[in-house]
Amino acid sequence: MKMLVVDDESFELELNRSMRVADVVTLPAKGRNGAKATPDSLRKLIAHDALNGTPASELAEAYGVSESSVSAYKNGASSTTTYHEGKGELKDFTDMTRDKIKNRAQNKLLLALKHMTEDKIKEVKPIELSTIAANMSRVVEKMSPKEQTTVNNNIVFYSPKQISKENYETIDVMPDNMR
């Protein structure tokens, strides 16, 4: 490995040149009644953290939103009223994040299964390796989209044609003048 020896002045100059200092930004007020909504970039950040396992209560407190909003953002919706109708950029982002998590879990699952050789089973308790495989498969299942099955039942009601009294043959029992 190559190393470069520099003097203190050069080191400080390079350190200061490459360091980035983040500005502290005050978040705008969020919510209803004329207040600005939560910015999309913040929704994505909250959704990402929620999908990666941060509890909703912690996220709600840290970002100043409600726990139900955290849940909606995690689902790809911009509010609780559109919870089941996630769409747009946020939905695409949450789907992409879920896919990344799912792919990582699948890779770990395959790695755990790969290491379940006869030699390993003899040396290591198979319960440990099967536990890893089972846990990774649960993560994959949890991150996979839920398949919505729709049942297409057709109900047909038969209603016979109604016949009026004009369709029947009538017999006059009383003459017209007696009525």
Q: What percent of the chain has pLDDT over 70?
A: 76
Residue 115 has what pLDDT?
76
pLDDT digits (tens, 9 = 90+) for 94-138: 888 888 888 888 888 788 777 777 776 667 777 877 887 787 778
**Residue 72 exposed, middle or buried by CB count within 10 Å (0-12, 13-18, 19+):** buried
The larger pLDDT score, comparing residue 79 to residue 21, is at: 79
Alpha carbon separation from 159 to 95, 115, 163 (Å, rounded) = 49, 67, 12
Distance between CA atoms of residues 129 and 122, nearest Å: 12
Which range is least confidently modeled, 28-37, 67-76, 139-148? 28-37
Measured in degrees and rounded to the nearest 5, phi and psi for residue 81 equal: -70, -25
Model confidence over 9-44: pLDDT tens digits?
A: 776 777 666 555 555 556 555 555 545 677 888 888
Query: 36 forms bridges with which residues in the sheet?
Result: 30
Q: Please give the model's pTM, rounded to 2 decimal places.
A: 0.50
What number is the average pLDDT over the span 136-163? 76
Question: What is the C-alpha to C-alpha distance for residues 38 and 43, in angstroms, rounded to an integer?
Answer: 7
Q: What pLDDT score was predicted for residue 1? A: 42
The confidence score (pLDDT) of residue 41 equals 83
- For 11-79, where are the E strands, in sequence order? none
What is the b/e burial string over 30-64, where b = at least 16 CB atoms within 10 angstroms of the residue's CB? beeeeeeebeeebbbebbbbbbeeeebeebbeebe
**Average pLDDT score over residue span 129-155:** 76
| pLDDT, position 125 | 74
Across the chain, what does the average pLDDT equal?
Answer: 75
Question: What confidence score (pLDDT) does residue 32 get?
Answer: 56
